[in-house]
Amino acid sequence: MTTTSHGDTPSTRTGTKELRLFQRAVKALAKKQAERHASAKALSDAIVVLLRTPPLQREWDVTVPGKWYDRPVSEPNADWKEVAETPARIPTVKGMAYYLRVPFSCLDSQLVGLANFRGFSEPLTIDLSYCEQLTGAGLVHLKGLTALTHLDLSGCARLTDVGLSHLKGLTALTHLDLASCWQLTDAGFVHLKALPSLKYLSLGAVGIDGGWTQDTSSALRDAALAHLKDLSALTHLDLRRCKQLTDTGLAHLKGLTALTALDLVGCERLTDAGLAHLKNLTALSALDLGDCEQLTDMGLSHLKVLSALTTLDVRGCRQLTGAGLAALREALPSCEIKR
Under CATH, which architecture does the 255-339 domain have? Alpha-Beta Horseshoe (3.80)
Q: What is the pLDDT of residue 23?
A: 55
Q: Which strand ranges, in their side-by-side order, compose the sheet holding 311-313?
A: 81-93, 57-72, 96-101, 124-127, 148-152, 175-177, 200-202, 236-238, 261-263, 286-288, 311-313, 336-338
pLDDT of residue 11: 33
Q: Where are the domains of the chain?
A: 10-52, 58-245, 255-339
The count of other CB atoms within 10 Å of the CB of residue 333 is: 6
Strands (E), 31-75: 57-72
Evaluate whether 58-245 and 255-339 have a shared fold. yes
d(CA 250, CA 95) in angstroms, rounded, equals: 40
Q: Which fold has domain 58-245?
A: 3.80.10
What is the CB neighbour count within 10 angstroms for residue 187?
12
pLDDT in tens, the chain (339 residues): 444 433 333 333 344 555 555 555 554 554 555 555 667 777 677 666 656 655 567 888 899 999 999 999 999 999 999 999 999 999 999 999 999 999 999 999 999 999 888 889 999 999 999 999 999 999 999 999 999 999 999 999 999 999 999 999 899 999 999 999 989 999 999 999 999 999 999 999 897 765 454 556 667 899 999 999 999 999 999 999 999 999 999 999 999 999 999 999 999 999 999 999 999 999 999 999 999 999 999 999 999 999 999 999 999 999 999 999 999 999 999 999 999
